Amino acid sequence: MSESSLRLVWVYPDLLSTYGDQGNALVVERRARLRGLDVQRVDVRSDQPIPTSGDIYLIGGGEDRPQRLAAERLRRDGGLERAVSNGAIVFSVCAGYQILGHAFINDLGEREPGLGLLDVETVRGTGERCVGDVLADIDPQLGLPQLTGFENHQGVTQLGPTAKPFARVRLGRGNGTGDGTEGAYNETVFGTYMHGPVMARNPLIADLLLKLALDVNALPPVDDRWYEALRAERIAAATQPA
Amino acid sequence: MAGNTEPLSPRAKLAVTAGKAAAAVSRAAGRGSGSVIGGKVALKLDPDLLGRLAQHLDVVLVSATNGKTTTTRLIAEALRASGPVVSNALGANMPAGITSALAGGSDARYGVIEVDEKYLAGVARDVTPKAIALLNLSRDQLDRAAETRMLAEKWREGLAGSKAVIIANCDDPLIVWSASSSQNVVWVAAGQEWKDDAWSCPACGGVMQRPGDDWFCGECGFRRPTPSWVLSGDHVLDPHGSAWPIHLQLPGRANKANAATSAAVAAVFGVPPQVALERMYQVQAVAGRYDVVNFQNRELRLLLAKNPAGWLETFSLIDPAPAPVILSVNARGADGTDTSWLWDVDYPRLAGHPIFVIGDRRLDLAVRLEVAGLDFRVCETLDEAVQLAPPGQIELIANYTAFQDVRRRVGN
């Protein structure tokens, strides 16, 4: 992390911000400020270069054509790969998650190369679209409580040997592979299918990113009353359908 | 221009009668206006009924993400200057509801019809409209709606052969793309505050440049067309450059935009802007929206906002702080079950207002407002929120089913 402030980069809101993805940036920013950190948020449009000196990068969900355009522009830019090699933390959602893998199927039905920052590859599912509330257990190594979110995608994402499943679903589809995995991660790069946005329902993920970026083991506590109430309600709603 | 006066076929007449009977039964059973069930029965007996009913009318279609019910009302009022109008004024905007509404207006000259975005191309084919008003397109009901851009693409394909005059908002790039395959377009500079669904060029995918009120694609030639009608503050400028004052009982910039578009539509049928705009003043509330009601000895203004673009326009019309605000959000089927759109709404604009939060998804809203750094109270019921609200007229903003819940509670 740079000397004076935490640099939070939101990648391509003009293309990848269909599902309230700004929420993840707002939650990370808010929780950093509540800890007294100075945050510099940089929203990078797809005709601008990706800064390589950020601490945390967020990349969101979007529709099929914008996803292809984003992949093309990110590959051409190369900044995100450089940031990761500099040690930056990246958190990606849905279309953004697929872009960080080796490849996905684009809106033209063709195989579109991704950035290869996560050892995953995505094809298009043949079944029904995965839409609805999800409940999952996050990899215990990450020390996070249950994952609650909303999924809306048709991807089937297979994990390679260097990617670990981010979570295992109890309810919902996750990676769509049928093996119960949801999302993927390595040391610094994370991917999930969870909208919601995911940080609003799982604020401790935001804290995890902050801890990794700051290289600390703990953060001062903040008032999580409303997050806790929302989590309890969504988990109950997912487990006790009307 | 009233079309042919040939009577309906016996089959069509039977279908209309059966539809009315089904609607009456539905009403008697206390299940709403019955217009949708009536239309369904009628369409089943005569699938071409919609087209046949429309043959006798000069039809105007109105579609958009936001403002279609209100604009339909404004156009209907304006056209009444020149003849009787039939309209689906209650917002039943899919083919069954439209059929039912048209079946109720046998002596009408004009049919002014609100159409759901997904059905526009089909209805435009069935009823051969004289004019189609296209107001705006933006994200709505993400869990089940097609992509917003794909919707624009479908409109573009569906309207390509239409002989109708298209009256379209030149300030929304997706609307311009939808209308750009049509021969006869009247562009209206009606404005649009929400811009986050059109940063990417619908033609080529290039990044849109938006200096001031203008917009153009940085890569291809797609750009804002020159309007012939312009909303300018409280006036609408007609194609001759004359400025006509807009006096409405309905609040807000978005309704002035709806009035400007409606004046342009009325002109297609020979109704002068002055006459059209004066008639629009009659419109007070539309299906309960904008109504000020008395509840527990307090004045509540009921405002409907279904999606980020709608909330943005609504924030710009409410009374300034410290007017108390009640927010209500549900996520039932008709609302869309994905609440992530709350994070696209610019809630920090409510800073300074006492805020009370109700509705099925009040906790989603609570987290949203907490992250925005706003003070708020979460309440179990509307009654509790109203009791806690400090003095002054209360602005109540709700999404679709939450709005219906509120109307039921206040007896509106």
Segments making up each domain of chain A, as ranges: 6-239
Q: How many CA atoms lie less than 13 Å away from A162 in the CB half-sphere?
A: 10
Q: Which residues 6+ apart lie within 8 Å of B288 measured at CB?
A: B302, B304, B403, B407, B412
Q: Does A129 touch chain B (CB under 8 A)?
A: no
Give the CA distances from residue A214 to residues A4, A86, A88, A217, in Å, rounded to whole numbers and listed in that order: 12, 14, 10, 9
Residue of A30, A18, A25, A21 whose CA lies nearest to A67: A18
Do B245 and B387 belong together in one domain? no
Collect all residues of chain B within an 8 Å Cβ-Cβ radius of residue A152.
142-143, 338
Collect all residues of chain B within an 8 Å Cβ-Cβ radius of residue A30.
371, 373
Q: Into how many domains does chain B fold? A: 2
Residue of B257, B302, B300 whose CA lies nearest to B280: B257
Q: Does B342 touch chain A (CB under 8 A)?
A: yes
- In whole angstroms, give the CA distance from residue B72 to residue B59: 12
Q: Residue A19 in contact with residue A94, Cβ under 8 Å?
A: yes
Q: Residue A197 in contact with residue A93, Cβ under 8 Å?
A: yes
Residue B211, domain member (yes or no): yes
User: What backbone torsions phi and psi does residue A16 show, to the nearest 5 degrees?
Assistant: -120, 70
Do B304 and B174 belong together in one domain? no
Rounded-to-10 torsion of CA B379, B385, B389, B393: 140
B344 → closest Cβ in A20, A64, A226: A20
Cα of B146 to nearest chain A Cα, Å: 10
Q: How many CB atoms lie within 10 A of CB B363?
A: 22
From first to last of its 412 residues, chain B has per-residue pLDDT tens of 344 445 677 777 767 776 776 666 666 555 556 667 777 777 776 778 888 888 889 999 999 999 999 999 999 999 999 999 999 877 788 888 888 888 877 789 999 999 999 999 999 999 999 999 999 999 987 766 667 888 999 999 999 989 999 999 999 999 999 999 999 999 999 999 999 899 999 999 999 999 999 999 989 999 999 999 999 999 999 999 999 999 999 999 999 999 999 999 999 999 999 999 999 999 988 888 899 999 999 999 999 999 999 999 999 999 999 999 999 999 998 898 889 999 999 999 999 999 999 999 999 999 999 999 999 999 999 999 999 999 999 999 999 999 999 999 998 7
Rounded-to-10 torsion of CA A227, A231, A237, A238: 140
The string of pLDDT tens digits covering residues A151-182 is 999 999 999 999 999 999 999 999 999 999 99
Do B156 and B274 belong together in one domain? yes
> Testing the interface with B: which of A8, A11, A18, A205 to mutate, by most B Cβ within 10 A?
A18
Do B123 and B151 belong together in one domain? yes
- In whole angstroms, give the CA distance from residue B98 to residue A55: 55
ipTM at complex level: 0.96
**Interface contact flag, A152 B373, Cβ < 8 Å:** no
Residue B27 pLDDT? 64
pTM: 0.90
Do B239 and B312 belong together in one domain? no
Q: Does B289 touch chain A (CB under 8 A)?
A: no
How far from each other are the two terminal CA atoms of chain B, in whole angstroms? Answer: 38
Do B53 and B189 belong together in one domain? yes
Q: Residue B103 in contact with residue B16, Cβ under 8 Å?
A: yes
Q: Does B373 touch chain A (CB under 8 A)?
A: yes
Give the CA distances from residue A61 to residues A193, B61, B309, in Å, rounded to whole numbers and listed in that order: 9, 34, 19
Fold of A6-239: Rossmann fold (3.40.50)
Do B208 and B61 belong together in one domain? yes
Collect all residues of chain A within an 8 Å Cβ-Cβ radius of residue B149.
63, 65
**Interface contact flag, B207 A45, Cβ < 8 Å:** yes
Collect all residues of chain B within an 8 Å Cβ-Cβ radius of residue A200.
343, 364, 367-368, 371
Continuous segment of H or E residues that includes residue A239: helix A225-239
Give the tokens for residue B38: 């009536």
B210 three-state secondary structure: coil
Give the CA distances from residue B149 to residues A189, B137, B198, B340, in Å, rounded to whole numbers and listed in that order: 30, 8, 8, 19
Instruction: For residue B122, give the CATH number of its domain.
Output: 3.40.1190.10
What pairs with residue B85 in β-bridges? B110
Asked which of B228, B258, B280 is the last residue of a domain, the reply is B280
- In whole angstroms, give the CA distance from residue B166 to residue B268: 10
Do B263 and B301 belong together in one domain? no
Q: Which domain holds residue B325?
A: 292-410
Do B133 and B214 belong together in one domain? yes
Q: Which residues 6+ apart lie within 8 Å of B297 measured at CB?
A: none
- In whole angstroms, give the CA distance from residue B205 to residue B199: 9
Measured between CA atoms, the residue of chain A closest to residue B142 is A19
Give the CA distances from residue A43 to residues A11, A53, A152, in Å, rounded to whole numbers and listed in that order: 6, 14, 24
Residue B71, domain member (yes or no): yes
Residue of A202, A203, A208, A204 whose CA lies nearest to A190: A208
Residue B3, domain member (yes or no): no
Measured between CA atoms, the residue of chain B closest to residue A223 is B370
Residue B372, domain member (yes or no): yes
Do B193 and B335 belong together in one domain? no
Measured between CA atoms, the residue of chain B closest to residue A195 is B340
Do B321 and B203 belong together in one domain? no
The string of pLDDT tens digits covering residues B43-83 is 776 778 888 888 889 999 999 999 999 999 999 999 999 99
